[in-house]
Amino acid sequence: MSETRRFMTTAAGTVVADNQNSMTAGPRGPVLMQDHHLMEKMAHFNRERIPERVVHAKGAGAYGTFKVTGDISKYTRAKLFSRIGNSCELFARFSTVAGELGSADTARDPRGFAVKFYTEEGNWDMVGNNTPIFFIRDPLKFSDFIHSQKRDPRTGMRDNTMQWDFWSLSPESLHQVTWLFGDRGIPATLRNMDGFSSHTYSLWNDEGERYWVKWHFKTVQGIKNLTAEDAARIAGEDLDHHRRDLFTAIENGDFPQWRVMIQVMPEHEAETYPLNPFDLTKVWPHADYPLIEVGLMELNRNPENYFAEVEQSAFEPGNAPAGMGPSPDKMLQARLLSYPDAHRYRIGVNYAALDVNKPRCPVHHYHRDGQTRFDGNFGRSPNYQPNSFDGPVDDPAMREPPLRISGDAARYDHRVGNDDYTQAGNLYRLMSAEERGRLVANLAGALTPVPRFIQVRQINHFYRADPEYGTRVASALGIDIQTLVGRAA
């Protein structure tokens, strides 16, 4: 490495003081809009590729229905959940994260799990993954993470060294890495995987009481996974294995279903709970917050045109009817901006009016003009508010209860005071002996072409999560764990 240090700058040449931590109101957030560096990174990242999605480029989608089977009306005023038996139409899209449009469906990669519920009060978009956690907790690192998973700027090829260099320097990724390289890292089909909001969201009721929630979608078909060997074989036979399986199942009347559940934490408990409930790298133990039944999701209709309905589908976590909302989760706060910003760039400013995205309820707003305006553009009605010509007005009754925040605006080190090892170790210890063996083999295979100093750095993380975990990976790579332990001591 060169002895001369070059300091990172913004595009305007201003030196960046901290590229690891977003500016938040207090250590737990929320993120501040005045964080110019964060906004610049995210806006530039959204515009790096055209026309396919930067992430989640390859996917499969289908229409279906959601029916409420459990009473959660005490937590939310949303009409959808006002009584058992309510239902709505939905559109779901599943996707890989890192691969391009032509990539293999069976790659070891998290799967996007996005659902658009067309409720009578407007669209509710649940934008999640098939994992309950993620690799990072601060959005300032998101574009860096994705770059490390994409292609080497010199060779144009995927590079294990890039991936493990980032992960080994980001210990908060260990929980997700352990999940990804375990058995659930490659689902057998899209029908045989769970979905999670991953983020913490909120519900609020007519009394103004707020609850923090995590959403879970439990596959009725049961969890089924592929070994690394089977995944490689299938990739050589059918790049579209998952897409084909979902389409064929629905076409044959074999409609996949998921039981929808939530974990609920009263707002006041978040202040004293031992874990930061808004940390995307952590799960809430079910012993503390058990699953509560909400409803049943079924996919039962294939799209008629892939481009119009799947490729142009656009999900954004800010879409939620009254009674539902976001949380101070830093990653979620940034996604509230990033997702619609990416859609405006990729599809056009009027993306929300496309058939697959438009609500199934009346729409009244003052958005006008823009590229691909394909309707009447609201005719002669006024395009400003307030006005004297019966234009739509805001409704104070829909106001969300105030969120109390405190703290000095600064870039807080998100790793200070955070335990990045216990939950990863717990996940390892939950695995059977056979599952641990496959995890170690998968990790060793991915780490083999990586430089030794990065291997050593990553093994130290495994060891801190569980000594057996680190020892077995080290042994598989031909590294003497006692030497590493002695060096660390």
Considering the candidates 21, 46, 123, 129, report the single residue annotated as catalytic: 129
Omega of the bond prior to 386 within 30 degrees of 0, cis?
Answer: yes
Q: If 0-12 CB within 10 Å is exposed, 13-18 middle and 19+ buried, where does residue 144 land?
A: middle
Tokens describing residue 387: 């006005």
C-alpha–C-alpha distance, residues 78 and 80, integer Å = 5
Query: Is 129 one of the catalytic residues?
Result: yes
Considering the candidates 56, 175, 241, 414, report the single residue annotated as catalytic: 56
Query: CA-CA distances (angstroms) from residue 284 to 7, 203, 209, 273?
Result: 39, 17, 21, 10
Tokens describing residue 63: 């229409």
Omega of the bond prior to 290 within 30 degrees of 0, cis?
Answer: no
Tell how strand 210-219 and strand 195-196 pair up: antiparallel
Query: Is 460 one of the catalytic residues?
Result: no
**Main-chain dihedrals φ then ψ at residue 139, nearest 5 degrees:** -65, -20
Residues with Cβ within 8 Å of 427's Cβ and at least 6 positions away in sequence, in order, are 175, 178, 179, 182
CB 428 within 8 A of CB 421: no
Give the residue numbers annotated as catalytic, written as ranges.
56, 129
